[in-house]
Amino acid sequence: MGDPNLDGQVDSADIVFLVNEALPDDKPILLPQNFANADLDGDIDVDQDDLDALVEMLLGLSTP
Ligand SMILES: [Ca+2]
Ligand SMILES: [Ca+2]
């Protein structure tokens, strides 16, 4: 988890991906695997909470 754009690493590109793909409600995640990786808190929805979780992960506030 934590790699929404599926490029093999968790970095700022994943934040950009979440902002572009997850936050606009009318723009669905492209693939189930994108969705699964983006849903960091596991509530079967990709939203601001998951973006916050990803930012925290990148800041080192939680272990991978
Ligand atoms: Ca990535
Ligand atoms: Ca979520």
Question: Which residues neighbour 63 within 8 Å (Cβ) at sequence distance 6 or greater?
Answer: none
Name the percent of the chain lying above pLDDT 90.
45
Q: Confirm if 12 and 19 have CB atoms less than 8 A apart.
A: no
pLDDT level of residue 26 (50, 70, 90 thresholds): low
Ligand nearest to the CA of 1: 1
Ligand nearest to the CA of 29: 2
Residue range 10-25: average pLDDT?
84
Q: Which residues surround ligand 2, an ion (CB under 5 A)?
A: 39, 41, 43, 45, 50
Question: Which residues neighbour 47 within 8 Å (Cβ) at sequence distance 6 or greater?
Answer: 22, 23
Backbone angles phi, psi at 53, to 5 degrees: -65, -40
62 CA distance to ligand 1 middle (Å): 17
Q: Where are the domains of the chain?
A: 12-58
